[in-house]
């Protein structure tokens, strides 16, 4: 079907429905003489065809065909073509188009009168008898013709009755009332017309009833269709709701938070597995319990008041405590939503076990309190410093160390307190720590007190980081080491003085442990033994004095050093004489640590002593000889 044919078919189908209504109205309101042309016009208007001609075949009369058309040429010129159509058997329904017809065919001649448009021929039958033909010009296409023929099928008997009666009436009017027979026929015709009118009205009533029944049936079908749609929509909604319920139940069964559903009297209606595991009761046991049985912080009147407040507000968020089956109490964070429904609202609660969190928070608070006490009461100065060097917090010790009030220090930076000569080195170390070159910083430098004096401090800096690992601030411990440095300087000077004295003495000095091993030797000892003082360290005195040889009796280096009073011995060593004086060393904590050997070379003094002894002996011998000489002289006289 081409687009034009489809358009005609659509117009025909839509027009037939409204045509039936108009035909019924015309039959009811118009006289029989007026009906044929009005019906033809109605068919043309509602089906969209170009022209409609209604024809009735007359058995007797001057014309074998009666044509319901006011044009005289139609009534006079179509008889031969209509007879030919009837003879050809095409009166039972036929569709013709000029291009497919022979030139001398009656259909072609009829089409030629109407501009060669398509022709649809429909039979007009009444009680099975052919009364005439309906010629519809302007029906192009087989599909459109079939659609139009099917739509007009129910109206064709009514059209056949109308045009047949109209033809009969015209025939009677043509005959006139010239004889009793004609008058009788006319009377009979009027009676028939009256009977037909009654029949028409009865048919019209039947048609109205059929229309009412059809409308009722259409309404019922619409109601049934609407009901089916509503049932399908309800089924779809129920399926979606069931899917949502299934998803919600799955979510409640798998969530780590506990779920409790209770009524406004506190009776537990539903719980999820997480809450059962949290509280230690089974689901069946909990469904026989109330909120009063598990609540450990509020009294029953307080619980009832809390429920009334939640129902009034619609939701709530608070913390409480529930008692487990084993008697232990757990801390819970509770989120409440009120479900509005008849006859009684429901209370839906999501609970989270925060016992460990509470414990952690308490431990954190205690830790922070301990840290605060340690920070405030520490004997060393403590401070927190921003990455730009500004003080964030300082303790009293640090403020007293520098002579400032804490409020004054919080308005200052570390650089303002650092001695100018130490600032560059300290800041460089701090930047290196920020860059990750060192995890912490230990540095001694000078700080300037409020009165302008300086103090030496031992600075320990630890970099504190945030949750993302980025440097946040620095924690600083400050120890005043001014006195320590001064004491160290005094010790250093004393050590230098002792070292000078130790190496300046002419006597050799050996510091030994209890085993007799040399711990330290002075410069004179190195000169005496022909080696450096450091070379003597670790050796025993015997190895120094008697290498590879026997130890002379009384040598203080012959065995381990014993605790005793100081003592001195004189030994011959090589070609020298040595005087060795041993002093034990002890203190109150460790009574005996070792000893000090002071070795003095007495060779020269020993030789002088021997010379004096020899001279004294010679003098005594001379004196003896002189005495003997005087004695002998006296005897001689």
Residue 623 tokens read as 């004196």
For residue 318, what pLDDT band results from cuts at 50, 70 and 90?
Answer: very high
Q: pLDDT of 552-598, one tens digit each?
A: 665 666 555 555 555 556 656 666 777 878 777 776 666 666 778 88
pLDDT at 266 over 50: yes
pLDDT at 5 over 60: no
- Please give the pLDDT value at position 146: 82
pLDDT at 305 over 80: yes
- Please give the pLDDT value at position 563: 52
For residue 8, what pLDDT band results from cuts at 50, 70 and 90?
Answer: very low
pLDDT at 70 over 50: no
Distance CA 211, CA 272 (A): 63
Considering the chain, what percentage of its residues have pLDDT values greater than 90? 18
Locate the domains of the chain by residue range.
3-175, 255-359, 378-486, 505-601
Q: pLDDT of 282-295, one tens digit each?
A: 999 999 999 999 99
As a whole number of angstroms, the longest Cα–Cα distance in the chain is: 256
Q: pLDDT of 194-248, one tens digit each?
A: 777 777 777 777 777 877 777 887 888 888 888 888 888 888 888 888 888 778 7
Distance CA 78, CA 106 (A): 9
Q: pLDDT of 151-209, one tens digit each?
A: 777 777 777 777 777 766 666 565 554 556 556 666 766 777 777 777 777 777 777 78
Q: Is 299 helix (H, G, I), strand (E, B) or coil?
A: coil
Q: What is the mean pLDDT of the chain?
A: 79
Higher pLDDT, 32 or 196: 196
CATH architecture entry for 505-601: 2-Layer Sandwich (3.30)
Higher pLDDT, 618 or 408: 408
Distance CA 493, CA 392 (A): 41
pLDDT at 477 over 50: yes
pLDDT at 76 over 60: no
Q: pLDDT of 119-162, one tens digit each?
A: 888 888 877 777 778 888 888 788 888 888 887 777 777 777 77
End-to-end CA distance of the chain: 203
Residue 627 tokens read as 């005495």
Higher pLDDT, 422 or 597: 422
Distance CA 546, CA 550 (A): 7
Same fold, 255-359 and 505-601: yes
CATH of 3-175 given 3.40.50.1170, 3.20.20.140, 3.30.450.40, 3.40.50.261: 3.30.450.40
Distance CA 567, CA 560 (A): 15
- Please give the pLDDT value at position 61: 46
**Is 3.30.450.20 the CATH classification of the domain at 378-486?**
yes
Higher pLDDT, 84 or 272: 272
- Please give the pLDDT value at position 333: 93
Sheet holding 129-137, edge to edge: 65-67, 51-57, 129-137, 119-126, 94-96
Q: 255-359 has which CATH code?
A: 3.30.450.20
Q: Which of 565, 560, 557 is nearest to 514 (CA)?
A: 560
Instruction: Give the phi and the psi of residue 175 in degrees, each rounded to 5.
Output: -70, -45
């Amino acid at each position: 079907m081409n687009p034009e044919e489809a358009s005609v078919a659509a117009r025909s189908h839509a027009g037939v429905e409204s045509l039936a209504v108009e035909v019924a109205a015309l039959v009811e309101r118009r006289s029989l003489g007026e009906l044929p042309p009005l019906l033809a016009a109605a068919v043309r208007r509602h089906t969209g065809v170009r022209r409609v001609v209604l024809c009735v075949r007359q058995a007797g009369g001057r014309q074998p065909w009666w044509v319901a058309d006011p044009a005289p040429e139609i009534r006079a010129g179509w008889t031969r073509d209509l007879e030919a159509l009837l003879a050809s058997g095409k009166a039972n329904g036929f569709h013709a188009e000029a291009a497919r017809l022979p030139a001398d065919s009656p259909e072609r001649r009829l089409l030629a009168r109407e501009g060669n448009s398509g022709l649809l021929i429909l039979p007009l039958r009444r009680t099975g008898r052919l009364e005439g033909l309906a010629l519809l010009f302007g029906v192009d296409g087989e599909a459109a013709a079939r659609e139009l023929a099917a739509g007009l099928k129910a109206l064709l008997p009514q059209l056949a009755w109308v045009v047949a009666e109209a033809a009969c009436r015209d025939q009677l009017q043509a005959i006139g009332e010239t004889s009793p027979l004609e008058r009788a026929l006319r009377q009979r015709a009027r009676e028939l017309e009256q009977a037909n009118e009654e029949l028409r009205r009865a048919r019209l009533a039947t048609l109205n009833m059929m229309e009412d029944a059809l409308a009722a049936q259409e309404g019922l079908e619409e109601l049934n269709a609407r009901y089916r749609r509503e049932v399908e929509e309800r089924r779809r909604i129920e399926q979606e709701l069931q899917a949502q319920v299934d998803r919600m139940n799955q979510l409640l069964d798998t969530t780590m938070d506990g779920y409790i559903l209770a009524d406004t009297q506190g009776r537990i209606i539903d719980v999820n597995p997480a809450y059962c595991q949290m509280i230690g009761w089974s689901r069946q046991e909990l469904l026989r319990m109330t909120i009063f049985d598990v609540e450990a912080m509020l009294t029953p009147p307080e619980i009832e008041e809390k429920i009334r407040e939640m129902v009034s507000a619609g939701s709530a968020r608070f913390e409480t405590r529930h008692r487990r089956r084993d008697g232990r109490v757990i801390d819970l964070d509770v989120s409440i939503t009120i479900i509005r429904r008849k006859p009684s609202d429901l209370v839906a609660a999501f609970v989270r076990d925060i016992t460990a969190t509470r414990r952690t928070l308490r431990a954190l608070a205690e830790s922070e309190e301990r840290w605060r006490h340690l920070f405030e009461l520490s004997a060393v100065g403590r401070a927190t410093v921003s990455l730009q060097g500004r003080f964030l917090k300082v303790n009293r010790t640090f403020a007293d160390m520098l002579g400032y009030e804490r409020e004054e220090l919080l308005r200052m930076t570390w650089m303002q307190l650092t001695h100018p000569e130490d600032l560059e080195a300290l800041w460089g170390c701090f930047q290196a720590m920020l860059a990750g070159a060192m995890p912490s910083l230990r540095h001694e430098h000078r700080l300037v007190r409020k009165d302008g004096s300086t103090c030496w401090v031992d600075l320990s800096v630890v970099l504190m980081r945030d949750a993302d690992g980025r440097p946040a601030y620095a924690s600083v411990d400050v120890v005043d080491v001014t006195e320590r440095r001064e004491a160290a300087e005094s010790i250093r000077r004393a050590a230098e003085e002792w070292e000078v004295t130790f190496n300046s003495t002419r006597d050799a000095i050996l510091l030994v442990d209890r085993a007799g091993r040399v711990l330290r030797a002075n410069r004179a000892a190195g000169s005496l033994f022909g080696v450096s003082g450091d070379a003597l360290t670790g050796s025993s005195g015997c190895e120094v004095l008697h290498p590879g040889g026997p130890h002379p009796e009384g040598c203080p280096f012959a065995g381990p050093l014993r605790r005793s009073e100081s003592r001195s011995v004189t030994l011959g060593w090589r070609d020298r004489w040595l005087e060795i004086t041993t002093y034990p060393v002890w203190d109150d904590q460790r009574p005996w640590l070792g000893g000090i050997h002071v070795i003095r070379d007495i060779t020269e003094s020993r030789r002088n002593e021997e010379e004096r002894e020899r001279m004294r002996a010679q003098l005594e011998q001379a004196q003896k000889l002189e005495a003997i000489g005087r004695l002998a002289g006296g005897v001689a006289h």
